[in-house]
């Protein structure tokens, strides 16, 4: 972790007490959000999302595999995240650590528990063969708020994804011998088709430090919340995913600080508002609505 | 995964006969291990959890030392035989995440600035698992830390609420967790009344969230009393009865 | 490793020369042994064993798998041991090291080579499907003599194990299509039944230091034998598993010291005697005889 | 793996319409990342590559420090989604080898003796892969190093030549690589005109080798000009236009 | 890495400038090459090769496995190299590092790209079962020029390899039920037969230091080229594999120095000459021609 | 694994024609490797084993150093091609255990207190395996240590006995090991006559154990003489013949 000189930390803290942020944003205001899809041609779907200077690339690959025994007619999804050292001097090469795993699991739950992917429509041969959806999150440039940038990149990539019927034609031909029931599926889906998706919840993250709660934290703000170099600091992070109806679909508190009930309720409300705005940006970028 | 199981009946009675706001049976014992500096054995419904605390001692490897405070390493581990299908030994992604959020929750309550350059290791072993192990683990860790005499602003405690068949209920059991609508594990520092752990999966309206939060909060306070009782019993078992009364009463009145 | 102050080491050494141990035991005497079975409800079998302050939990899980090609009609067993950091400040998290591996392999050989588990009775479909028995050793509290405590816990857990016919009913139903010969097995075993076992050898461990050999070493005694902090020390450890007939079924010498032939013969005899007593404790706890 | 695909037609035209000595389309952009000390985004045919440089900074772990010079850690990594069949995350044997030969090539040109005890980390991420990624990666690394202001005797550059259907051609595409006869990736320090990376797979006569070497060498020089142009554009975008002309002209005349 | 005292480094450098090497060899001259085959009886093929004091053992094991989907009727080959700590104080136990991986991959490419093994003749049941050839390189004694010694050991081991029909008889019998087409293969190959091989290219390696290029570098010469302890040194290594017709089949440049075009052309020519001599030594040792 | 194979016939003759108390053919050669400080090549029946010693040298990583003595790292490793079915490279649980018991056995005989803070690495490579590799490995390690000039109280040696078809015999071969009743590998410090390695698998009565121990002990003494002879031959090959006679005779008379 980069140590912010305490002078900077004090300055941001003082600003916060006056209701201000160093880049002039309101406490509940996001930096500029940019979404670009179809950025990787080898992937079934992909998107690069920028929130301020933070930049995340998500790619979707699909494969044919076997279903889990307790859901024999459902597709399978997996989310991985790599904090590659390209994105920050603080990220190290090697197998994912606690931070990358928490990120991947929070993004994964936001998609899985909200049932965005209609996995029941990803069955190829009942009991035997289903689609597997691999969501891979690649952090390219790290300036704070990975949770929201990564979640949004995963969503945008999913919305750009085509089920690769043509690429798997040779495998399907082979399967016809052993699994004749595949013909139903092939007749319904003669060619590539969009991944079947439901409405997406949007994740919104805030951090608390010096008793204020700010949304879409920059790296500087995150580092203050993480108490880098400051022993008394107990910052906290809260991610809330909400849907179009304003319902809560996932939450995750992080860091070694705490929240009051009131702070949590306020954060949920601001997450709903921000979520609605971000959902519009997402829809626009993927040509929905 | 959805199913046709009816999780709550017309009278608000759950599969195991509990009411909506009723906890599973909980048993807490402090100081159960010989070698550890502090320890706790906890049964919570079908969960069986052991927690052991070692430290503070010099942090190793050295480059992990923080010159200003202790580092807290909570390690949540499931025994291979604690679940239906044998789990491979060693940490998986789920246990790495739970270890992280529990470590962060504990750092909030331990007076880490009193022990610079040290580490405090909190080992949580799940021996038998039946939904709610992270709450059981954080609760056991709190007792083990107190048993080890680690200074804390609060004894941390945790309890979950959730939603089954559209009803908000306290402390989900295994089937309620598998087939329910939402789970909200809550970790609390009860004296300062602040949230130190919070996760949510599923689907809750704002009203349902408020109700679930209240239930889980209430559950935390009930379990917190059991924690103090377990520590008191351990204490009584090692000191003279008359001394106990004097020493512990003020603690209870807080 | 904890370093015992040399004053303590010297004291135990002097006591030993006078034929005494710090807790008053005879050289060949065990601490109190307690066995509790059925302690984990998710496991097919389980036992917690205490020898003095040392405490080990063993759990048995079973699964259906494929036989080895050189024994197509026999079940398969595997033993793993974890020295989890719960049990001692000297145990580290991570993949098993030399010590945990030696422990697991010695426990495993004590069971495997003595053919305690009647693996021929664990065949479900000849050549195709057999029961796999996983013995997992979890050290809970470490105050010396892991080998005997772990071996005894594994045995007690095996004796408490029921083959989980009911839990695997769905799989068996599925197998009926492809392996009709499974019906024989299912008719013979309509419901859970005790794991087929033979008579168990009992492992007894001693360590040598200051030219005396003591059984059931406490942690203090083990550390002296391991020569912690003492360069001249060459302690040695010997584990001997013997059966009801007084036959030897397994041996393992450890540590960087040595034994004379006479010491080994004496240790075997004491192992047979102690083994008989421990076997009775085991039988009583599992309701046998 | 051989096939019946005709890779070059009677008029010397290749599958994608290129002539034998024609490069795929290349786009280079310097300074594209906020956090890195220097960076480069490069598209080369269907390849998309990002390179980021961090350092020089104190080498860790300490025992890797060299008291006489900087160590150069190039890390070539393919994104899971950059290839037809998803690649497992993390290094495989191929990427370990490519990282090694690129690190060695970069050590030739960086003035490593100016920064004892430090490390210079060069991270190359392949986001989209279509044959020739090691050349694309070394080329992007060169620009990123220059963008980071790391002193070098030369900006390294790379380009491959190969043989398809018996013809020596420049810069193989995916099918040419899969079904061709030979591939010769060449890394160059263009100013001193020395070879810093060279590999060859396949089957070449001495004459074919000489021809392929010439083609690849020529390709390197062409790409080298694009590298300088990209750096110039980055520079122009951050300084006054009139200053640019003065500063950069001498550089170009070399 | 052993640090050569700079006095030795200077001495070798000065000799080089005078056109001399410390052991009296010409710049393009190899040390004595010895090849011994059939050195490991459990392996399908094996060879120990000495070039000077460098000693490498290569062993070939074969197994039946599944083909890759893009070459369903071809056998599969894999090359691994272990720099075991037996061979040098600088080699460490553990998973292969960059150096072992580069070595294995260069040896592998020399064999794979030159199609020495006729993998089309290693098909047992089309689309289903093929032979897998495992080439394992074990470095025994390290005194420079691993690339050539390892490549030559792999070749000699391959030439000594018999396809183990007898050892796999039980498996073949079993396969007859599910894959009747195996009978064709079994009739053609009733017993062990030599691995089908084509003509082998030979790898020749040189290093450059002090502006001279020397072939078959000793450890001292390699260490100078690697610039151990010398910051200004930029040594380089070049491996060229050539076939009987004098065609180039593989090249690999290594180390942090550079070559001119002329140096490379000269090295190719010397590699062809040396390769022809080494090929004769190989053929003689394996009884070919 | 049991079988119907008859391992010993009515005349006490074993499958390979040996008598009950007969060793397989053994060949020992000292000083066979150029780079190692000491080395040994050993053939024992179908086993082929190389041992190489490096050290004493400063122990790394530093935290493993013992201020009072050298640490001995024996590493037993089987080559992938040394067994019937190819073994994956790298240590498995079996080789980790064997490495541990061999390291402990060697620590008994090496004068480790003479070399504080150092490590002595003993690398044992099994190139061809046919039952009894751990005894072959310890025996080869003993010769390699002596060849390296490491001070020892004794040259360690090992040999196994076992039981086949109810008969106690010396030095089990492959099939005897696979289908026999018991195996008892014994490591000895022959001069002080103490047991430094002992393992047993199978089924032995007390009487059988005594008999097997005697056989294995006898085997150790025979092999011990071969070790000394191999060292003598190495010595003779590097010094003047007349000197050898003078120097070595007293050694042999011990």
Residue E181's φ and ψ, nearest 5 degrees, are -70, -5
For residue F252, what pLDDT is reported?
37
Instruction: Find, in chain D, the residue whose alpha carbon is nearest to that of E268.
Output: D206
Instruction: Kindly state whether E255 is in contact with chain D, defined as any CB-CB distance less than 8 angstroms.
Output: yes
Shared-domain flag, residues A86 and A11: no
- Of E194, E229, E263, the residue that ends a domain is E194
β pairing state of E76-82 and E129-141: parallel
Shared-domain flag, residues A85 and A145: yes
For residue C14, what pLDDT is reported?
87
Q: In what order do the strands lie in the sheet with B118-128?
A: B26-30, B38-44, B47-58, B118-128, B71-78
For residue A195, what pLDDT is reported?
96
Chain F residues lying within 8 Å of C255, measured CB to CB:
104
In the predicted structure, residue E218 carries a pLDDT above the cut 90: yes
What's the pLDDT tens digit per position in D28-45? Answer: 999 999 999 999 999 999
Shared-domain flag, residues A101 and A209: no
For residue A232, what pLDDT is reported?
62
For residue F64, what pLDDT is reported?
87
In a domain, A216, yes or no: yes
CB contact under 8 A, E238 and D198: yes
Supply the pTM of this predicted model.
0.93
Shared-domain flag, residues E115 and E85: yes
The encoded tokens of residue C84 equal 């989890």
Tell me if residue B46 falls in helix, strand or coil: coil
In the predicted structure, residue F243 carries a pLDDT above the cut 80: no
Shared-domain flag, residues C248 and C277: yes
Shared-domain flag, residues C79 and C220: no
Domain count of chain A?
Answer: 2
Tell me if residue F35 falls in helix, strand or coil: coil
CB contact under 8 A, B121 and C85: yes
The encoded tokens of residue F54 equal 């490096």
Shared-domain flag, residues E174 and E227: no
In degrees, to the nearest 5, what angle opens at C-alpha D119 toward C-alphas D118 and D125?
165
| Long-range pairs for D93-99: beta carbons < 8 A, 24 or more residues apart | D93/E101, D93/E104, D93/E105, D94/E105, D96/E98, D96/E101, D96/E102, D97/E98, D97/E101, D97/E102, D97/E105, D98/D134, D98/D137, D99/D74, D99/D75, D99/E98
Average pLDDT score over chain E: 92
Residue D3 pLDDT grade (very low, low, confident, very high; cuts 50, 70, 90): low
In a domain, E1, yes or no: no
E strands in C19-103? 33-37, 45-51, 54-65, 76-82
For residue D84, what pLDDT is reported?
93
- Answer whether D8's CB lies under 8 Å from D164's CB: yes
Task: Please count the helices (runs of H) and the strands (runs of E) in chain A.
Answer: 7, 12
In a domain, E261, yes or no: yes
Instruction: Kindly state whether A260 is in contact with chain B, defined as any CB-CB distance less than 8 angstroms.
Output: yes
Separation CA C172–CA B224 (nearest Å)? 46
Tell me if residue D127 falls in helix, strand or coil: strand
For residue E210, what pLDDT is reported?
86
- Of E149, E176, E194, the residue that ends a domain is E194
- Answer whether B2's CB lies under 8 Å from B179's CB: yes
In a domain, A214, yes or no: yes
CB contact under 8 A, F108 and C261: no
C258 Rama class: left (phi>0) / alpha (psi -120 to 50) / beta: beta
Average pLDDT over every residue of C246-275: 96
Question: From the candidates D2, D63, D76, D96, which should be mutated to test the interface with E, based on the most E CB atoms within 10 A?
Answer: D96
Q: Is the peptide bond before F61 cis (omega within 30 degrees of 0)?
A: yes
From the list F96, F107, F206, the residue facing C101 with the nearest CB is F96
Q: Is the peptide bond before B61 cis (omega within 30 degrees of 0)?
A: yes
B-facing residues of C in 61-100 (CB < 8 A) are: 61, 63, 80, 82, 84-89, 93, 95-96
The encoded tokens of residue D210 equal 């000489």
What's the pLDDT tens digit per position in F127-165? Answer: 999 999 999 999 999 999 999 999 999 999 999 999 999
Chain A residues lying within 8 Å of B197, measured CB to CB:
253
Separation CA E241–CA E106 (nearest Å)? 10
In the predicted structure, residue B79 carries a pLDDT above the cut 50: yes
Q: Residue C78: beta bridge partners?
A: C134
For residue D1, what pLDDT is reported?
44
In a domain, C208, yes or no: yes
In a domain, A107, yes or no: yes
CB contact under 8 A, D93 and E104: yes
For residue F158, what pLDDT is reported?
98
Element (H, E) at B143: helix B133-147
For residue B254, what pLDDT is reported?
34
The encoded tokens of residue C9 equal 């080491």
In a domain, C153, yes or no: yes
In the predicted structure, residue D158 carries a pLDDT above the cut 60: yes
> C70 to chain B, minimum CA–CA distance in Å?
25
Tell me if residue B31 falls in helix, strand or coil: coil
Chain A residues lying within 8 Å of B108, measured CB to CB:
234, 256-258
Shared-domain flag, residues E177 and E219: no
The gap from C-alpha E251 to its chain's centroid, in whole angstroms, comes to: 13
- Answer whether F43's CB lies under 8 Å from E74's CB: no
Shared-domain flag, residues C144 and C86: yes
Shared-domain flag, residues C57 and C178: yes
Q: Which domain holds residue C224?
A: 6-28+200-286
Separation CA C159–CA C156 (nearest Å)? 5
Separation CA E64–CA E75 (nearest Å)? 9
What's the pLDDT tens digit per position in B84-134? Answer: 999 999 999 999 999 999 999 999 999 999 999 999 999 999 999 999 999
Question: From the candidates B114, B166, B194, which should be mutated to test the interface with A, based on the most A CB atoms within 10 A?
Answer: B194
Domains of chain D: 26-235 (3.30.230.70)
CB contact under 8 A, B82 and C42: yes
Shared-domain flag, residues E80 and E165: yes
The gap from C-alpha C270 to its chain's centroid, in whole angstroms, comes to: 18
Q: Is the peptide bond before B56 cis (omega within 30 degrees of 0)?
A: yes
SS3 string, F177-234, reads HHHCCEEEEEEEECCCCEEEEEEEEEEECHHHHHHHHHHHHHHHHHHHHHHHHHHHHH
The encoded tokens of residue B68 equal 């200003």
Provide the CATH number for the domain around residue A52: 3.30.230.70
- Answer whether E230's CB lies under 8 Å from E9's CB: yes
Instruction: Find, in chain E, the residue whose alpha carbon is nearest to that of F144.
Output: E86
What is the length of chain F? 254
Question: Which residue has better confidence, F155 or D9?
Answer: F155
Residue D235 pLDDT grade (very low, low, confident, very high; cuts 50, 70, 90): confident
- Answer whether B237's CB lies under 8 Å from B32's CB: no
E strands in chain A? 33-37, 45-51, 54-65, 76-82, 123-125, 129-141, 162-163, 193-194, 202-209, 212-215, 236-242, 248-254
In a domain, A1, yes or no: no
From the list D34, D48, D128, the residue facing A143 with the nearest CB is D34
Separation CA C210–CA A100 (nearest Å)? 53
Burial B128-153 (b: 16+ CB within 10 A, else e): bbbbbbbbbbbbbbbbbbbbbebebe
Instruction: Kindly state whether D46 is in contact with chain A, defined as any CB-CB distance less than 8 angstroms.
Output: yes
Concatenating the DSSP letter of every residue in E42-67 gives: TSSEEEEEEETTEEEEEEEEEEEEPP
DSSP summary character for residue E176: H
- Of C194, C210, C233, the residue that ends a domain is C194
- Answer whether C212's CB lies under 8 Å from C222's CB: no
CB contact under 8 A, C261 and F96: no
Instruction: Kindly state whether F93 is in contact with chain C, defined as any CB-CB distance less than 8 angstroms.
Output: yes
Element (H, E) at C206: strand C202-209
For residue D247, what pLDDT is reported?
41
For residue E221, what pLDDT is reported?
93
For residue C155, what pLDDT is reported?
98
> F213 to chain E, minimum CA–CA distance in Å?
30
What's the pLDDT tens digit per position in B163-191? Answer: 999 999 999 999 999 999 999 999 999 99
- Answer whether B179's CB lies under 8 Å from B3's CB: yes
Q: What percent of chain C has pLDDT over 70?
A: 96
The gap from C-alpha E250 to its chain's centroid, in whole angstroms, comes to: 12
CB contact under 8 A, D192 and E258: yes
Residue E228 pLDDT grade (very low, low, confident, very high; cuts 50, 70, 90): low
Shared-domain flag, residues A64 and A15: no
What's the pLDDT tens digit per position in D89-115? Answer: 999 999 999 999 999 999 999 999 999
Separation CA F248–CA F225 (nearest Å)? 13
- Give every residue of chain A whose pLDDT is below 70, as ranges: 1-5, 228-233, 289
Q: Which chains contact A through at least 3 pairs of Cβ atoms less than 8 Å apart? A: B, D
Which of these, E287, E196, E206, E199, lies nearest to E243 by C-alpha position? E199
CB contact under 8 A, A264 and B198: yes
What's the pLDDT tens digit per position in C161-212? Answer: 999 999 999 999 988 888 888 999 999 999 999 999 999 999 999 999 988 9
E-facing residues of D in 203-232 (CB < 8 A) are: 203-206, 209-210, 213, 217
């Amino acid at each position: 972790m980069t140590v912010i000189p305490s002078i900077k930390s004090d300055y941001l803290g003082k600003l916060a007490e006056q209701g201000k942020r160093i880049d002039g944003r309101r406490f509940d205001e996001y930096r500029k959000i940019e979404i670009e899809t179809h950025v990787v041609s080898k992937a079934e779907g992909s998107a690069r999302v920028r929130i301020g200077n933070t930049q995340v690339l998500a790619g979707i690959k699909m494969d044919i595999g076997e279903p889990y025994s307790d859901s024999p007619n459902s597709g399978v999804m997996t989310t991985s995240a790599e904090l590659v050292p390209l994105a920050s001097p603080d990220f190290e090469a090697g197998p994912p650590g606690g931070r990358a795993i928490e990120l991947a699991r929070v993004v994964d739950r936001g998609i899985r528990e909200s049932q965005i992917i209609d996995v029941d429509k990803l069955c190829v041969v009942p009991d035997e063969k289903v689609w597997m959806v691999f969501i891979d999150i690649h952090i390219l440039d790290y300036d704070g708020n990975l949770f929201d940038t990564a979640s949004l990149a995963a969503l945008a990539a999913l919305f750009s994804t085509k089920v690769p019927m043509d690429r798997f034609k040779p495998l399907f031909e082979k399967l016809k011998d052993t699994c004749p029931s595949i013909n139903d599926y092939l007749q319904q889906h003669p060619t590539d088709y969009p991944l079947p998706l439901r409405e997406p919840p949007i994740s919104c993250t805030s951090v608390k430090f010096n008793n204020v709660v700010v949304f879409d934290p920059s790296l500087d703000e995150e580092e203050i919340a993480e108490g880098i170099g400051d022993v008394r600091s107990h910052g906290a992070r809260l991610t809330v995913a909400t849907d179009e109806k304003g319902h809560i679909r996932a939450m995750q508190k992080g860091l070694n600080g705490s929240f009051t009930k009131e702070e949590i309720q306020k954060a949920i409300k601001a997450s709903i508002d921000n979520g609605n705005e971000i959902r519009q940006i997402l829809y626009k970028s993927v040509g929905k609505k | 995964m959805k199913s046709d199981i009816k999780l709550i009946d017309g009278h608000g009675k759950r599969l195991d006969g509990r009411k909506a706001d009723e906890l599973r049976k909980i048993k807490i014992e402090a100081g159960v291990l010989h070698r550890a500096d502090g320890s706790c054995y906890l049964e919570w419904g079908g969960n069986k959890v052991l927690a052991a605390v070692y430290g503070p001692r010099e942090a190793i490897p050295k480059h992990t030392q923080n010159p200003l405070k202790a580092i807290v390493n909570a390690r949540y581990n499931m025994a291979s035989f604690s679940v239906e299908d044998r789990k491979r030994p060693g940490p998986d992604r789920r246990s790495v995440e739970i270890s992280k959020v529990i470590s962060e929750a504990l750092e909030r309550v331990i007076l880490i600035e009193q022990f610079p350059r040290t580490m405090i290791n909190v080992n949580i072993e799940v021996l038998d698992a039946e939904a709610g192990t992270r709450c059981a683990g954080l609760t056991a860790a709190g007792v083990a830390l107190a048993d080890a005499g680690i200074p804390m602003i609060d004894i941390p405690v945790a309890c979950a609420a959730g939603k089954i068949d559209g009803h908000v209920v306290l402390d989900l059991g295994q089937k309620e967790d598998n087939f329910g609508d939402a789970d909200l594990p809550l970790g609390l520092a009860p004296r300062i009344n602040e949230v130190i752990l919070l996760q949510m999966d599923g689907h809750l309206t704002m009203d349902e969230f408020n109700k679930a939060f209240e239930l889980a909060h209430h559950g935390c306070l009930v379990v917190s009393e059991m924690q103090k009782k377990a520590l008191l019993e351990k204490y009584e078992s090692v000191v003279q009865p008359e001394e106990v009364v004097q020493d512990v009463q003020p603690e209870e009145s807080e």
